[in-house]
Amino acid sequence: MESRNFKINSEESNLESFIKNELRKHAKRLRGRYPAFSEIVNGTIKTLKIKKIYKLTKDLKDFFLILTNNYSKKPKIKYFLGLSLASQSSDLLVAIAKNFAVENKLKLIQYSIYPKTLRVNLFIIKELKSKNEYSQWTKILKEYKKFFKKELIKIKNLVENK
């Protein structure tokens, strides 16, 4: 049982070192105070206070790395990979994105990444638990962003043709 705990802890430290050494090199830290967001765990709402937010650069346009304080003791920090699907969220956009989020066990949140602008972005986020998940989820989320845009174009064309 101890070896199992050691394996989990080494995966966590692997992820931490990957984020510190690789992701932060190609990321811009966003300044300011951010409101917390919450998640439902065993029927109770747990609040996750935002520690830092990084906007990823290079080929990861519209991707964000969100660091939150964990409500449980271990690990101290939770890491979320987030993709901004829309800079202005609406019920229609949420309805389009909802099925994909549910199928892939992702979280869909409406969150103001730039609080001073009063715009609420639509984010799809995934908690990262190991280094290996990062590349897998970036590929999946990039493909979904393309699909999401195609769906919006279809709806736009339907409205214009009527």
Residue found by looking up tokens 């493909």 in the block: 143
Residues with Cβ within 8 Å of residue 89, at least 6 apart in sequence: 110, 120, 121, 122
* pLDDT for 41: 84
The whole-number average pLDDT for the span 30-46 is 87
Residue found by looking up tokens 């897998």 in the block: 136
Flag whether pLDDT at 149 surpasses 80. Answer: yes
Q: What is the pLDDT of residues 47-95, one digit of tens each?
A: 889 999 999 987 888 899 999 998 887 888 899 999 999 888 889 899 9
The whole-number average pLDDT for the span 101-124 is 86
Q: What is the largest CA-CA distance in the chain?
A: 65
- Check: pTM over 0.85? Answer yes or no: no
Residues with Cβ within 8 Å of residue 76, at least 6 apart in sequence: 69, 70
